[in-house]
Structure 1
Amino acid sequence: MRAAAELTGCSHHTVAGHVSARDAGRPIAEPAPRPRATDAFLPKIEEWVEASKGRIRADVAHGKLTALGYAGSERSTRRAVAQVKAAWRLGHVRVHRPWITEPGMWLQYDFGDGPAIDGIKTILFVAWLAFSRFRIVIPLRDRTAPSVYAALDRCFRILGGAPTYVLTDNEKTVTTAHVAGVPVRNRQTLDFARHYGVTVLTCQPADPATKGGVEASVKLAKADIVPTETNLRGEYASFAELEAACQGFMDEVNHREHRATRRRPADVLAEEAPRLHRVPDTAHTVAFGLARTVPENTPMVTYENAQYSVPAHLLGARVFVRAHGTGPGEQVVIVHHGPAGPVEVTRHGRARPGSPAIAEEHFPGARAKVPGDYTPRARSAQEAEFLAIGAGAAAWLAEAAAAGTARMNVKMAEAVALAKIAGTAEVDKALGDAALDGRFAHGDLASILNASIARTTMHSADEARSLTQGTAAWASLGTGTPTIAKEQDR
């Protein structure tokens, strides 16, 4: 043993300990177990951990052990409870098998809370194509079935096809009830799925492995799109700005390398697209409401005896109108199906017959006509010269016509002549004052113009003339010569 100790550079006692452990069949260099104060109570601790499903506190266990005659410290109890809990969790852990996806098979979608626009909260519809990891984010105003169907139709058209299965949560738009743990499908959802040739499935409870991809996409989309203190994004002024932000997010995440596949999702989608089903040319419009055709000259549609405005670019197009909600907050939603799929174009509050619901942005360039509010338009050269003077001339014309002024053409020609002499700005101001004071008689314009011109006599000094007061009047004092009178006469 001493020779072996010299070869290894350690004590011969260490060599003797290793030899003894080898002969006894124990692991070499392992510490020898020593009895602990909690060994006799381990069965009871295991019973408590099993009954509490691994949630019992160590201080509670120590109190129970003390009542049973345990004399050890609380630190020993904590160490024993922690070891038993670790063993219990190891025996009850759920083993997840990785989900291997196939191209063209699975599409998952979920919802997230979007930003508020004009005090109204929006919804983020997030879809995730499992094989290519392609993400789609579409903002919605609500989570009703028509809005979800329209978003799914847009997803299919963005992807270039429909997958075999669509996976989502057990919402009322998909599952109406559960019987013996089996979900009962919504009939409208089945009609929608049959139209596109897909199968809508719902995920199992407490099964994050099957739907974790879209949930991670929702978390990523909210962190980038919703204004927070971390991304320093400002509030959205309109719904169009939110749609542009979602499109920018999609362009960014789908054209950068994915961490799992080491490829860009857009490139993988190009390979997966031939495995997708063909999307029908016409969308499933049964749930979108009643069909209406917009007139070719007025962007208004009629729904339940009331009229509602639509964007002007939809003149002559076909739209779908439906009601959403009840009571004072009831809304009328209008959807248009275009080349990119069904898109919600506007929504109004419930209108009454005879009182149409109109949005001003739907009538670009239109001016509300008010009786008695006339816009002067020149119809002759003389009228054009008069109106060219300025705003005061237009005001004078409107007020003089309302007052029934006679021989207006003669007075307008006089104003044009005065503008050439005194200046256009001065005459325009005088016309404005005349219109304000109601002075439309002959000669009033010239009188106002003369009163507005300041007339003062200016004296200036030069080398031949001085402004100093003379003393010639004082020279005749005492001489009797009327010099002062001569000076005054001169």
Structure 2
Amino acid sequence: MEILEAYDLTGSYRAAAELSGCDHHTVARYVKMRAAGQSPEQRKHRERAIDAYLPKIEELVVRSRGKVRADVVHKRISAMGFAGGERTTRRTVAEAKAQYRLGRHRVYRPWVTEPGLWLQWDWGTGPVIKGRQVTLWCAWLAWSRFRVVIPVWDKTLPTIVACLDATLRKIGGVPAYALTDNEKTVTTDHVAGIAVRNAEIVEVAKHYGMTIRTCIPADPESKGGSEATVRIAKADLVPTDTNLLPEYRTFAQVEAACRDFCAGVNGRVHRQTRRVPEQMLAEERQRLHPLPKAPFTAAFGTTRRVTWECTISVEGVRYSVPHPLVDTRVWARFHGDELIVTAVAGDGTAAEVARHRRGTPGTPVIDEAHYPPREDKQADRTPKAATAEEAAFLMLGPGAASWLVEAAAAGTRRVRAKMAEAVALAKLHTPAAVDRALGTAAITGRFADADLLSILDYQLRQADAEPTRAGEGHSLQPGTSAWAAFGTGTPPVSPAASPAPAHDDDEKDLI
């Protein structure tokens, strides 16, 4: 356009060439093409050596449905006499494939959604917790773009029912259709291209008053929405080197992360609708069907009553459940070598509350996390005064409490009399001194009648004295040194027969 503009300004080929920085022959060619009504961008095709083999290249591309590789085509045409390079073949094959796809490209019709009509769900691979893979249930409403992500351990039918019930109660209603993939829990077989539904999932759909549809295999139109939800959830929840998320140590951390993710994506403006999904959900609820009060519990297994020990009995084996479920009913079922316990909350939401390995009769399967922590595990061993005499003794200090515990464990007699004696000694001496003596007696295990008074007297004279116990290095037994000369011909001398050392008086008598 600059060349033509320069020519229109000057009316000379050479002057236009100097202004636009090209040859005057180029200016003349462009001017003649414009005068003939041709586009200056059109270039005249020059014959190439590979043009003679274009029919064969197009045949190979069509027969392979655009899958043939350029190196394979190059070998075929080289055997036919083509002497050009592989680069030329690659460029020509790429052009042939582009023309093949252009004539067979599928035109996608946009999905115009309606409020209250479609719910989609799919599965995604979640994080790994202690070597075990977590699966993400990803559901979304097609019109409002409201998402629900729930972490689970498996993809069995009872888990699907629990997740579906939790999703419907989260959105506050039931849509007309639920669209999902063709898994065995939903589609058992395909006959002449028709999906055969699982009879149990049909019963679930009847309970909630909705129709479950399945996607057409390899069809982006029916799978795009749910797959996008899975992709976004995995990017924000699964720890990788790109998102720098921390590792999850417990399943509760994954549940909290999923709740935060749903709150984030449902509370911000969506890229396509330019609206907040939570606000659109409020409008879509008016078009949703009402939820049944009770969830579909037939797939959860058999009911069991939780005892006051926070356990249920299944096939003669006791399994623990979380302590808030005491004196309630739960559902239990076996999945492989695991027992899965499901509970239904007051609002009708079903959730998995416990999962155990299969046990054997006589051996309870207990999870310590199901029981609340005790604030003071030693409270049962702490002395508690019931009378005035006991209160007066325990008021001496912690040494008195230790003495009472140890003395009772040792089976000491006349414990009450000795306690009264300690209270009386506290009036003659300080309570701290008596408490220290009682603590020393508890450590050394001295609970006889005069032991307390003896320890107290010693500690009053030795303020820095510490309680000691006789070790293995000291013994009152006689040694074996008298037998050192055994076998030498000299009779052993017993300690009793050895002469006593001379005293000063004996030396004076000898003198």
TM-score (norm. length: structure 1): 0.83
Report the AA paired with residue 411 of structure 1: K
* Contact 2:236/2:261 (<8 A) preserved: yes
Aligned match of 1:364: 372
Once the two structures are superposed, residues 387-423 of structure 1 have per-residue CA deviations (whole angstroms, 9 ceiling, x without a partner) of 3444443332233223332322232233345456665
Aligned match of 2:472: none
Shift in Å at residue 81 of structure 1? Answer: 2.2
Measured in 2, the distance between the counterparts of 1:68 and 1:48 equals 14
Measured in 1, the distance between the counterparts of 2:325 and 2:188 equals 36
* Contact 2:294/2:348 (<8 A) preserved: no
Shift in Å at residue 357 of structure 1? Answer: 2.8
SS of 1:338's partner is coil
Give the 3 Å change call, closer, same or farther, for CA 244–5 of structure 1 in structure 2. closer
Of 375, 399, 403, the match for 1:396: 403
Of 207, 218, 222, the match for 1:210: 222
Measured in 2, the distance between the counterparts of 1:361 and 1:45 equals 68
Aligned match of 2:282: 270
Shift in Å at residue 289 of structure 1? Answer: 1.1
Matches within 5 A, 1:240-251: 240-251=252-263
Aligned match of 1:40: 52
Measured in 2, the distance between the counterparts of 1:236 and 1:346 equals 19
Of 182, 187, 192, the match for 1:175: 187
Matches within 5 A, 1:272-421: 272-295=284-307, 297-325=308-336, 329-364=337-372, 375-418=382-425
Once the two structures are superposed, residues 254-313 of structure 1 have per-residue CA deviations (whole angstroms, 9 ceiling, x without a partner) of 010000000000001111111111110011110011123335x44333322333332232
Aligned match of 1:114: 126
Give the 3 Å change call, closer, same or farther, for CA 108–416 of structure 1 in structure 2. same
Measured in 2, the distance between the counterparts of 1:21 and 1:369 equals 99
Unaligned runs of 5+ in 1: 458-490
Give the 3 Å change call, closer, same or farther, for CA 152–424 of structure 1 in structure 2. farther
Aligned match of 1:79: 91
Unaligned runs of 5+ in 2: 1-6, 18-23, 465-511
Matches within 5 A, 1:251-270: 251-270=263-282
SS of 1:10's partner is helix
Once the two structures are superposed, residues 409-445 of structure 1 have per-residue CA deviations (whole angstroms, 9 ceiling, x without a partner) of 2322333454566655554443333233321112212
Give the 3 Å change call, closer, same or farther, for CA 183–399 of structure 1 in structure 2. same
- 1:228 matched to 2:240? The reply is yes
Once the two structures are superposed, residues 192-221 of structure 1 have per-residue CA deviations (whole angstroms, 9 ceiling, x without a partner) of 000001111110111122221221111211
Matches within 5 A, 1:464-475: none
Moved more, 56-65 or 19-28: 19-28
Instruction: Let me know the Cα RMSD of the aligned residues.
Output: 3.1
Measured in 2, the distance between the counterparts of 1:405 and 1:16 equals 126
Percent identity among equivalent residues?
Answer: 53
Report the AA paired with residue 222 of structure 1: K
Measured in 2, the distance between the counterparts of 1:366 and 1:73 equals 81
Moved more, 415-424 or 375-384: 415-424
Of 449, 464, 467, the match for 1:442: 449
Give the 3 Å change call, closer, same or farther, for CA 375–73 of structure 1 in structure 2. closer
Measured in 1, the distance between the counterparts of 2:275 and 2:10 equals 59
Moved more, 197-206 or 353-362: 353-362
Give the 3 Å change call, closer, same or farther, for CA 422–117 of structure 1 in structure 2. farther
Number of residue equivalences: 451
Report the AA paired with residue 301 of structure 1: I
Aligned match of 1:192: 204
Measured in 2, the distance between the counterparts of 1:101 and 1:335 equals 35
Measured in 2, the distance between the counterparts of 1:439 and 1:323 equals 58
SS of 1:108's partner is strand
* Contact 2:139/2:149 (<8 A) preserved: yes
SS of 2:114's partner is coil
* Contact 1:376/1:394 (<8 A) preserved: yes
Aligned match of 2:438: 431
Give the 3 Å change call, closer, same or farther, for CA 72–429 of structure 1 in structure 2. same
Give the 3 Å change call, closer, same or farther, for CA 7–229 of structure 1 in structure 2. same
Measured in 1, the distance between the counterparts of 2:455 and 2:70 equals 100
* Contact 1:18/1:29 (<8 A) preserved: no
* Contact 1:333/1:344 (<8 A) preserved: yes
Give the 3 Å change call, closer, same or farther, for CA 334–57 of structure 1 in structure 2. closer
Give the 3 Å change call, closer, same or farther, for CA 80–361 of structure 1 in structure 2. closer
Give the 3 Å change call, closer, same or farther, for CA 4–228 of structure 1 in structure 2. closer
SS of 1:257's partner is coil
- 1:17 matched to 2:35? The reply is no
